[in-house]
């Protein structure tokens, strides 16, 4: 059988320093080899076309091209920054919230993002679940009917072959309590050719009026929204799939209110719902991407009233140790005395609000 275009694209990713050197000079190859020993390199042909290699500050370059700075670890940084392992009752499954689980369907990604919070797993040649692991996962779901939602993640589950995706969907649909299935994928950004007719046919087979499929994708900068990406999103949305976006706040990439405003507005225009902006998790070797929380709150505050509510995501912190996510928010309301509140309008005016007895 002939490979499909997305598979050809995967074969043509930049994966070695010699290949990367054809695009950008590499100063210290020895150090860069150490960087790649911690986390592999892969950049898809689509993303290579979007990078301006003449500009060392190109946001897509910063997110995709390894840097020596990844070898600097802060003491606060962790191998497992959000405690996936602490909440993993069986291999390849994390059960952090009562009603949903994460399943690591593969640890492969089309592009290894340099800020990845699961870089300790995605960065190595880490095999995904075997058939035995999959059976164990399905048994676990049967034994835990409180789980209504399954999030297929990794790695990137849409880098699996069509038949593997269909296997997961058909097994999950046989668990009566599982009503919602989500794919967390960055292929819409880095490998839009993955949204093939064949994939759409498979997804369509497993959606009905009470069993939705969600795609949560990961655009971080408006420059990533190219015509091929818009087409890939449109094909999914036209089929009845809700596409949402989450991604981290990244220093020198999107830590600018104007860039985020443009990103969020362009996402809703292409029918992607901005869902979460994450405070960067404490993964080792990612400190050069980190923005202080205070700055993140101020950036999101500045967008209140400027960006339509349907385009404004929540700014979230995923707590270490598997403790769960919390919103990081500016306080617009302070109780001053009984039934009185000191409020701040979206435009910065101070207001008094008297609450009637009720």
318 binds ligand SF4 (CB under 6 A): no
Inter-residue contact 119 to 37 (CB < 8 Å): no
Q: How far apart are CA 84 and CA 27, in angstroms?
A: 36
Tell me which of 6, 112, 219, 289 binds ligand SF4, using CB under 6 A: 112
Tell me which of 65, 101, 102, 116 binds ligand SF4, using CB under 6 A: 116
Tell me the C-alpha to C-alpha distance, in Å, between residue 242 and each of 97, 214, 268.
22, 5, 12
Q: 104, 109, 114, 223: which one is catalytic?
A: 109
244 binds ligand SF4 (CB under 6 A): no
The encoded tokens of residue 85 equal: 């392992």
The residue with tokens 């390894």 is: 66
92 binds ligand SF4 (CB under 6 A): no
| Strand pairing class (93-97; 242-248) | unpaired
Inter-residue contact 164 to 200 (CB < 8 Å): no
Known catalytic membership, residue 118: yes
DSSP 281: P
As a residue count, the chain comes to 358
Q: How far apart are CA 230 and CA 237, in angstroms?
A: 10
Nearest CA among 107, 113, 103 for reference residue 156:
107
Name the residue nearer to ligand SF4 (CB basis): 110 or 261.
110
Give the nearest distance from C-beta 43 to ligand SF4 in angstroms: 11
DSSP 86-136: TT-SBTTEEEEETTEEEEE--S--SS--TT-TTHHHHTS------HHHHHH
Name the residue nearer to ligand SF4 (CB basis): 69 or 330.
69
Q: 58, 80, 104, 118: which one is catalytic?
A: 118
Name the residue nearer to ligand SF4 (CB basis): 109 or 300.
109
Known catalytic membership, residue 113: yes
122 binds ligand SF4 (CB under 6 A): yes
Interface segment toward ligand SF4; rule CB under 6 A; list 26-34, 115-123, 290-298, 311-319? 115-123
DSSP 44: -
Known catalytic membership, residue 358: no
Give the nearest distance from C-beta 224 to ligand SF4 in angstroms: 12
Known catalytic membership, residue 156: no
The encoded tokens of residue 334 equal: 């302070």
186 binds ligand SF4 (CB under 6 A): yes
Interface segment toward ligand SF4; rule CB under 6 A; list 10-18, 68-76, 81-89, 154-162? 154-162
Buried b (16+ CB within 10 A) or exposed e, 139-153: ebbeebeebebbbbb
Name the residue nearer to ligand SF4 (CB basis): 83 or 154.
154
Interface segment toward ligand SF4; rule CB under 6 A; list 153-161, 198-206, 281-289, 337-345? 153-161
Tell me which of 156, 166, 281, 318 binds ligand SF4, using CB under 6 A: 156
Nearest CA among 345, 346, 314, 341 for reference residue 327:
314
Angle, alpha carbons 25-188-40 (nearest 5°): 40
118 binds ligand SF4 (CB under 6 A): yes
Q: 281, 290, 301, 315: which one is catalytic?
A: 281
Known catalytic membership, residue 9: no
Q: 23, 31, 40, 97: which one is catalytic?
A: 97
Give the nearest distance from C-beta 109 to ligand SF4 in angstroms: 3
Site residues for ligand SF4 per CB under 6 A: 109, 112-113, 116, 118, 122, 154-156, 186
Residues with catalytic roles? 96-97, 100, 109, 113, 116, 118, 281, 318, 325
């Amino acid at each position: 059988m002939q490979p499909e275009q997305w598979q050809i694209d995967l074969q043509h990713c930049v994966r070695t320093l010699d290949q990367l050197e054809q695009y950008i000079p590499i100063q210290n190859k020895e150090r860069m080899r150490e960087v790649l020993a911690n986390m592999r390199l892969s950049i898809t042909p689509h993303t290579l076309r979007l990078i301006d290699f003449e500009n060392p500050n190109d946001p897509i370059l910063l997110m995709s091209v390894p840097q020596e700075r990844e070898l600097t670890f802060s003491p606060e940084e962790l191998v497992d920054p959000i405690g996936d392992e602490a909440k993993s009752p069986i291999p390849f499954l994390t059960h952090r919230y009562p009603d949903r689980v994460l399943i690591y369907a593969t640890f492969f990604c089309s592009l290894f993002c340099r800020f990845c919070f699961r870089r300790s797993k995605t960065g190595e040649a880490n095999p995904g679940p075997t058939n035995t692991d999959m059976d164990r996962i399905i048994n676990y779901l049967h034994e835990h009917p409180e789980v209504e939602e399954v999030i297929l993640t990794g790695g990137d589950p849409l880098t699996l072959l069509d038949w593997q995706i269909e296997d997961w969907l058909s097994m999950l649909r046989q668990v009566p309590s599982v009503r919602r299935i989500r794919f967390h994928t960055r292929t819409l950004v880095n490998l839009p050719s993955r949204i093939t007719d064949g994939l759409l046919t498979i997804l369509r087979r497993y959606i009905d009026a009470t069993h939705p499929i969600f795609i949560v994708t990961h655009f971080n900068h408006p420059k990533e929204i190219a015509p091929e990406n818009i087409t890939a999103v449109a094909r999914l949305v036209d089929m009845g799939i809700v596409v949402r976006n989450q991604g981290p706040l990244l220093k020198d990439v999107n830590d600018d209110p104007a860039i985020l405003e443009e990103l969020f507005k362009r996402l809703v225009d292409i029918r992607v719902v901005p869902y979460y902006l994450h405070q960067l998790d404490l993964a080792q070797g990612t400190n050069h991407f980190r923005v202080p929380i205070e700055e993140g709150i101020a950036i999101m505050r500045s967008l209140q009233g400027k960006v339509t509510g349907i385009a404004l995501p929540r700014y979230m912190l995923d707590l270490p140790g598997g403790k769960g996510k919390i919103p990081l928010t500016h306080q617009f309301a302070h109780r001053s005395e009984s039934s009185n509140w000191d409020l701040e309008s979206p435009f910065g005016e101070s207001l008094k609000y008297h609450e009637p007895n009720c």
